[in-house]
Amino acid sequence: MVTRPSRDRSLPTFISLVVLGILLMTFDVRLQGEGVVQVLRSGTQAVVAPLQKAAAFVVNPVADVIDSMSNVVALREENEVLRAELAEAEADLVAVQDQIARLELFEQLYALDSDIPVLGRTVANVIGRPDPSDASIIIDKGTSEGIVVGQPVIDTNGYVVGTVRSVSLGTATVVPITAGREAITVLVGSQVGIVTPQVFSSEMSLTIDMRLEVFDAREPVLAGDRVVTSSVSSSYPAGLPVGVIVFDAVPSTNSLTAVVRPFVDPDRLRLVVVLAWPPDPLASTDTTTTTVPATTTSTTGEG
Amino acid sequence: MRSRTVALVVGSIVVAVVVQTTLFGRLRLITPDLVMLLCIMLAMTRMRSEAVLAASFLSGLMVDLLGSSLLGLRAIVFAAVAFIALRTADRADIGRAIMAVWAGGLTMMGVLLIIVIGTVFGEASLLGAGAGSRLIWVPVANLILAALFAPLFVRLVDRDRTAFRYL
């Protein structure tokens, strides 16, 4: 039998802790995760990160085996689909070679320079998640590899995953776009809009799709239309694929609302790429340099 | 003796957080909430109620700091779970199965609280794909782990080999 002292102060203690917790939540909402909260997160990550990395070194092979065994059928099907896509992509590549050669010739003839900056990329392994209820992911690269809070993250196909929320020396936490609180400025066709995470219920299931809002809509959007990041966005470089329109939508008094299904499922991520965005402002304003040199610090995944 | 208990509790919390974020962060099968389970198991020990509540609050805060959700959300929830556990621990101490079901029930309450409080404060992603399965499988996983490890944990913390010896 569990016995407790007669002077039990658990209720006042509990009430005090709840009040403190609500204050912390309000504080975090007001600061929007910046300032002191950011410092606390980074500090805690710095303390726990070495243990997480050591545990991930042992755990990841075991988790991979369990994952593979439980998904054998799905993996085989996915393998077949990927083989077909690879064959198609190789055929497209052959077709495009001639056009690339012509482009290079024109660039030489007319002394054209590409002004598209080449972004630094850091490949990182996904080593875990903070909590079953938390959609964010933890990666095994941190400030020692040049990762900075706010940098955009994409998957190996180039699809948008999210942004770096907090970073320590050896790890970083990435918040997926489906779990973040900030909207993303996107482009659908020629129309600029914003997407925000939204919970939709469909046939007894809840899905995290995204809500697209275009405030100056001129034309409808169709199911299957591709949504990409806009050049107006300050969080992502332009042109990164975000998702696809789920249902047709028509403008209603200059505004349009649609559902976007993201390309990336954060639960299935194993490798991500962190982009060095925005690029170094000094290098981008230097007129004697035509392109920003690639500072790729790619690291192969676990192996 | 007291410092030993503190070291054991702190070490358990750190191990639970690390295992939760790495092993169970990767597996998509049954995923327990080890830190919440630890708070429930602490309520079964002879530790002072205030210490149990404080440890639960701080462990929840640690999980919040490692994640991206609102700071203080899991701190409140874990403290609430620990408070209910403290108030009902006597009724659960009649058998391993009852104790396990009690731990699973508290876990379900905790998951529900995370979803409700988080949604009220704007964390829409908590109420999304997987919310229903989390409400079922996280408590089931905690129920199984509690049945297997809770008595041993209590004996270790209280240094009492006769504690929770079920027939």
Mutation test of the interface with chain B: which of A31, A41, A45, A133, choosing the one with the most B Cβ atoms within 10 A? A133
Shortest CB distance from B67 goes to which of A63, A67, A130? A130
Residues of A in contact with B132 (CB under 8 A): 205-206
Candidates B18, B46, B49; nearest CB to A9: B49
Taking an 8 Å cut-off on Cβ atoms, the answer to whether A29 and B70 are in contact is yes
Q: Taking every pair of C-alpha atoms in chain B, what is the biggest distance, in angstroms?
A: 47
Q: Provide, as residue numbers in chain A, all residues whose Cβ is less than 8 Å from the Cβ of B57.
A: 17, 20-21
Can you give the pLDDT of all 303 residues of chain A as single tens digits? 555 555 678 899 999 999 999 999 988 888 877 788 888 888 888 888 888 888 888 877 877 777 777 677 777 777 888 888 788 888 888 778 878 888 888 777 776 655 555 778 999 999 888 877 788 899 999 999 999 999 999 998 899 999 998 888 889 999 999 887 788 999 998 899 999 887 655 544 455 688 999 988 888 999 999 999 998 888 899 999 999 999 999 888 888 999 999 999 888 888 999 999 877 655 444 443 333 333 334 443 433
Task: Find residues 47-106 of chain A whose CB sits inside 8 Å of chain B.
Answer: 48, 51-52, 55-56, 59-60, 62-63, 66-67, 70
B148 to chain A, closest Cα gap in Å: 19
With an 8 Å Cβ cutoff, are A63 and B61 in contact?
Answer: no
Sign of the alpha-carbon torsion through B140, B144, B147, B151: negative
- pTM for the complete prediction? 0.75
Above 0.95 for ipTM, yes or no? no
The most distant pair of C-alpha atoms in chain A lies apart, rounded to whole Å, by 91
Give pLDDT tens digits for B7-18.
999 999 999 999
Give A-chain residues touching B134 at CB under 8 angstroms.
132-133
For A11, the closest chain B residue by CA position comes to: B83
Whether the CB of A2 is below 8 Å from some CB of chain B: the reply is yes
Give SS3 for B20: helix
